């Protein structure tokens, strides 16, 4: 559980840096730096999901796409969200080609949507980890 909480903290920090970069006015340097922040945020999120699925759902998955599909099966993502996650995985795999302007521009334009979905998944996992609050009897 401690490992999961640490990964959750690391993931939140990574996404915070991505959100920060997305607020900076566009320039090629900002675009490229934001894509790099997307890369490590993506890695952090899918590895958080992998760990969460293993510890809480008993599901072993060793690739991002498999983890996103398993999150659908476990009810943590919708089919539409999984489709976006699969596209996000493909885009993450293309980010090493940011020297190709068209690739970099296309991926950069998708980053706000990707960041929002990663944040939603992170928040959902965090909610699952919160201890249940006892019902308070009203007088």
**Averaged pLDDT, 45-69:** 97
Assigned domain for 132 exists: no
Residue 139 forms part of a structural domain: no
Give a yes or no: residue 138 inside a domain.
no
84: in domain: yes
Residue 71 lies in a domain: yes
What CATH number is associated with residue 113? 1.20.120.330
Residue 101 placed within a domain: yes
Q: What is the pTM of this model?
A: 0.90
Question: DSSP labels for the chain?
Answer: -HHHHHHHHHHHHHHHHHHHHHTSPP-HHHHHHHHHHHHHHHHHHHHHHHHHIIIII-----SHHHHHHHHHHTTSS-HHHHHHHHHHHHHHHHGGGTTSHHHHHHHHHHHHHHHHHHHHHHHHHHHHHSPPPPPPPP-
pLDDT of 137 above 50: no
**Range of the structural domain that residue 91 is part of:** 2-127
pLDDT digits (tens, 9 = 90+) for 88-135: 999 999 998 778 999 999 999 999 999 999 999 999 999 988 764 445
Domain count, the chain: 1
Mean pLDDT of the chain: 92
Q: Decide if pLDDT at 3 tops 80.
A: yes
Residue 135 inside a domain? The answer is: no
pLDDT at 80: 98
Q: Would residue 133 count as lying in a domain?
A: no
pLDDT value at 65 more than 70: yes
CA gap 139, 135 in Å, rounded: 13
């Amino acid at each position: 559980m401690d490992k999961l909480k640490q990964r959750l903290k690391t993931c939140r920090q990574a996404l915070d840096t991505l959100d920060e970069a997305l607020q900076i006015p566009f320039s090629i340097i900002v675009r490229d730096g934001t894509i790099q922040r997307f890369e490590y945020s993506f890695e952090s999120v899918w590895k958080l999901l992998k760990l969460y699925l293993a510890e809480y759902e008993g599901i072993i998955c060793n690739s991002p796409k498999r983890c996103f599909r398993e999150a659908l099966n476990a009810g943590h993502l919708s089919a539409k969200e999984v489709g976006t996650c699969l596209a996000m995985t493909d885009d993450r795999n293309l980010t090493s080609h940011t020297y190709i302007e068209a690739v970099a521009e296309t991926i950069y334009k998708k980053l706000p949507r990707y960041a929002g979905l990663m944040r939603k998944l992170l928040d959902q996992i965090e909610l699952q980890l919160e201890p249940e609050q006892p019902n308070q009897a009203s007088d």
